[in-house]
């Protein structure tokens, strides 16, 4: 009981401190996630019950102790696991996302992968990502010897879903098979893109976190243009966030 009383006092102190130090959205880039019930949304300068904005993946352990109507602050690109999302929904927990003010210039950790057909372009991609200032995690393949694209698409998708990388890029012959594979991983929204316009749309409208490319359908220069556009575009508008939230809700229906 003494331990619980101590924890309660600490929580109360944290809430009091946060209520006096959390400025509004115009100052810090805080935004209310559309995943929270519309009736519960108030303003971005309300008291934050818990701050988990340093994490890329929010699990049930991060939200289990929160009471009904609590306010949880998370990173802009953070993902909730299905169990965490269920708890948030059941308890009416409000989600406040911290939006980075650095925007498209922010360094990202990018997971990359390719089959044998995409290997040469993957090597070019790694160099290009380095030039843009991003960190790269290479999941293979490492030669032009014949391999199976699902293995590498799955590895990249898992890295994104687990929070080891913020986004992923996979290259095979057409980009379609890798997209199909990656989209089997919960939390992943993979888009096969063949133009700059589609790449921007997949990010701005659909919140894609994995990009798949076809080495036989685009040139090296087109690859660079598509990747540059894809990485520099963000999901920012509430109307698009709401629709992506519905994609996630559909996914959760088939995970129980």
As annotated, the active-site residues are 205
User: Which of these, 57, 44, 55, 54, lies nearest to 18 by C-alpha position?
Assistant: 44
C-alpha to C-alpha distance for 225 and 192, rounded to whole angstroms: 14
Give the tokens for residue 133.
């200032």
103: left (phi over 0), alpha (psi -120 to 50) or beta: left
Long-range CB contacts (< 8 A, 24+ apart) of 237-243? 237/204, 238/34, 240/204, 240/205, 240/206, 240/207, 241/33, 241/34, 241/35, 241/207, 242/34, 243/205, 243/206
Q: What single-letter DSSP state applies at residue 40? A: G
Tell me if 112 sits within 8 A of 125, measured CB to CB. Answer: yes
Tell me if 137 sits within 8 A of 159, measured CB to CB. Answer: yes
Neighbour tally for 105: CB within 10 Å? 10
Length of the chain, in residues: 256
């Amino acid at each position: 009981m003494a331990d619980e009383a101590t924890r309660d006092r600490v929580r109360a102190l944290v809430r009091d401190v946060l209520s006096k130090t959390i400025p509004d959205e115009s100052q810090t880039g805080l935004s209310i996630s559309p995943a929270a019930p519309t009736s519960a949304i108030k303003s971005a300068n309300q008291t934050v019950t818990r701050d988990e904005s340093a994490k890329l993946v929010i699990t049930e352990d991060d939200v289990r102790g929160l009471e009904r109507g609590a306010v949880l602050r998370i990173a802009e690109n953070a993902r909730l696991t299905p169990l965490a999302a269920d708890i948030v929904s059941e308890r009416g927990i409000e989600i406040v996302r911290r939006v980075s003010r650095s925007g498209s210039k922010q360094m990202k950790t990018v997971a990359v992968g390719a089959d044998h057909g995409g290997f040469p372009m993957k090597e070019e991609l790694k160099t290009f990502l380095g030039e843009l200032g991003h960190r790269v995690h290479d999941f293979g393949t490492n030669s032009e010897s014949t391999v199976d694209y699902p293995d590498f698409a799955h590895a990249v998708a898992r890295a994104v879903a687990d929070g080891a990388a913020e986004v992923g890029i996979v290259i095979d012959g057409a980009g379609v098979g890798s997209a199909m594979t990656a989209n089997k991983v919960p939390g992943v929204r993979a888009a096969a893109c063949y133009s700059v316009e589609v790449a921007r749309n997949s990010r701005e409208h659909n919140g894609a976190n994995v990009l798949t490319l076809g080495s036989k359908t685009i040139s090296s220069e087109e690859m660079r243009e598509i990747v540059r556009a894809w990485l520099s575009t963000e999901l920012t508008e509430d109307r698009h966030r709401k629709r992506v939230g519905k994609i996630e809700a559909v996914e959760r229906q088939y995970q129980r």
